[in-house]
């Protein structure tokens, strides 16, 4: 009979982006995170999250962990820049290791801890081909595609830049990001048929050659104070259309991120992370009659600062 097991859990944030880091490395048996468990973690005020960063035992030499990322609705993500900075801070707190490497569904991801307010994450190479984003229809030029929100003769938003930064992104260029009801427009665009895997929807305002403001409706989450991969999407898309330099400061509602699109075609994002609370999550064997073997329910212990 399976007994209860527990694992360390941390509630963190990256510029207000709510992050939970759950470490399942070395846990046997490793509990299967069902949608019910994920929703239970998200629903608890102590562990409410935009992204859940789950660490599994590493499968690739020199990596610290294999990482799986869940959105609040239970869907998975290929990348989460703010979440990665939280993972890096968490690992540094445990080991003191500054240079770190992780395995993700989007590939190997390296990072470096300098200080809690200066954590650099290599977000990898941006993808611009319509099939890699992916889009339903072919577009030769993805710097601006034919897509609009609102009436055909007077669209509210139109002609976004699209790319993939571990996740699909669409960036609409506007004069003022505060002039738009993104809470209404975002879900319509996220689920537009053009995006077979849905998309993160951002509105971006160029403020100088090296700076921009952005608000994001995040796929599987909703309105967010910060989306690191969206900040990267704005930076590289702005550079592609000649409006931003390859190093820029992207301001999200939660604060500033520094983005560099370097000459090796890698995106390096630098910003802060913060610990809010630490504790343990306890997995209890499910006792209901219809529970499957290996099923668990969860509770929390000592989740305090």
- Model pLDDT, residue 2: 57
Distance CA 226, CA 251 (A): 9
pTM of the prediction?
0.90
| Number of residues that make up the chain | 305
Q: Of these residues, 163, 227, 232, 288, which one is catalytic?
A: 227
> 63-66: long-range contacts (C-beta < 8 A, 24 or more apart)?
63/101, 63/102, 63/103, 63/108, 64/91, 64/97, 64/100, 64/101, 64/102, 65/23, 65/25, 65/102, 65/103, 66/102, 66/103, 66/104
**Residue 296 above 80 pLDDT?**
no
Mean pLDDT of 168-181: 97
Residue 93: its H or E element? helix 81-95
For residue 60, what are the contacts with CB-CB under 8 A and spacing of at least 6? 66, 103, 108
Q: Of these residues, 80, 86, 163, 232, which one is catalytic?
A: 80
Please list the residue range(s) of the chain that carry CATH number 3.10.310.10.
5-124+274-304, 148-265
End-to-end CA separation in angstroms for the chain? 34
* Two tokens, residue 156: 């509210």
Instruction: Check if 86 is active-site.
Output: no
5-124+274-304 to CATH, choices 3.40.50.720, 3.40.640.10, 3.10.310.10, 3.20.20.105: 3.10.310.10
* Two tokens, residue 209: 């050659």
Q: How confident is the model at residue 290 (pLDDT cuts 50, 70, 90)?
A: very low
**Residue 86 above 60 pLDDT?**
yes
Instruction: Check if 288 is active-site.
Output: no
Q: How confident is the model at residue 152 (pLDDT cuts 50, 70, 90)?
A: confident
Mean pLDDT score across all residues of the chain: 92
- Model pLDDT, residue 302: 64
Mean pLDDT of 173-197: 97
- Model pLDDT, residue 6: 87
Note the pLDDT tens digit of each residue in 65-75: 999 999 999 99
- Model pLDDT, residue 253: 96
Mean pLDDT of 201-225: 96
**Residue 289 above 50 pLDDT?**
no
Residue 42: its H or E element? helix 35-43
112 φψ region: left (φ > 0), alpha (ψ -120 to 50), beta (else): beta
Q: What is the largest CA-CA distance in the chain?
A: 66
Specify the range with the lowest mean pLDDT, choosing from 1-10, 94-103, 170-179, 227-236. 1-10
Note the pLDDT tens digit of each residue in 226-246: 999 999 999 999 999 999 999
Q: What percent of the chain has pLDDT over 90?
A: 79
**Residue 288 above 70 pLDDT?**
no
**Residue 148 above 60 pLDDT?**
yes
**Residue 206 above 70 pLDDT?**
yes
- Model pLDDT, residue 117: 94
Write down the CATH superfamily of domain 148-265.
Diaminopimelate Epimerase; Chain A, domain 1 (3.10.310.10)
- Model pLDDT, residue 68: 95
- Model pLDDT, residue 291: 40
- Model pLDDT, residue 8: 93
Note the pLDDT tens digit of each residue in 41-57: 999 988 999 999 999 99
């Amino acid at each position: 009979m399976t007994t209860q097991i527990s694992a360390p859990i941390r509630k963190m944030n990256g510029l207000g982006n709510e992050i939970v880091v759950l470490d399942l490395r070395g846990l046997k048996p490793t509990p299967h995170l069902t949608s019910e468990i994920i929703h239970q973690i998200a629903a608890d005020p102590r562990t409410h999250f935009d992204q859940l960063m789950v660490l599994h035992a590493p499968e690739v030499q020199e990596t610290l962990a294999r990482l799986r990322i869940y959105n609040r609705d239970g869907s998975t993500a290929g990348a989460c820049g703010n979440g990665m900075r939280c993972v890096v801070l968490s690992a540094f707190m445990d080991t003191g290791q500054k240079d770190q490497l992780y395995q993700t569904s989007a590939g190997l991801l390296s990072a470096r801890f300098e200080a809690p307010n200066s954590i650099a994450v290599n977000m990898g190479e941006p993808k611009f081909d319509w099939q890699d984003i992916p889009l339903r229809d072919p577009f030769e030029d993805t710097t601006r595609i034919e897509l609009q929100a609102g009436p055909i003769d007077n669209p509210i938003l139109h002609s976004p830049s699209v790319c993939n930064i571990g996740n699909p992104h669409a960036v609409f260029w506007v004069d003022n990001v505060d002039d738009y009801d993104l809470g209404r427009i975002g879900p319509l665009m996220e689920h537009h048929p053009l995006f077979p895997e849905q998309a993160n929807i951002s509105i971006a305002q160029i403020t100088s050659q090296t700076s921009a403001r952005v608000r994001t409706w995040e796929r599987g989450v909703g309105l967010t104070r910060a989306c690191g991969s969206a900040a990267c999407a704005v930076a590289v898309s702005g550079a592609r259309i000649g409006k931003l330099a390859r190093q820029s400061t992207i301001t999200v509602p939660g604060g500033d991120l520094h983005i560099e699109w370097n000459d090796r075609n890698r995106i390096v994002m630098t910003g802060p992370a913060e610990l809010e609370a630490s504790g343990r999550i306890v997995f209890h064997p499910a006792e209901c009659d219809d529970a499957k073997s290996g099923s668990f329910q969860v509770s929390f212990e000592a989740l305090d600062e």
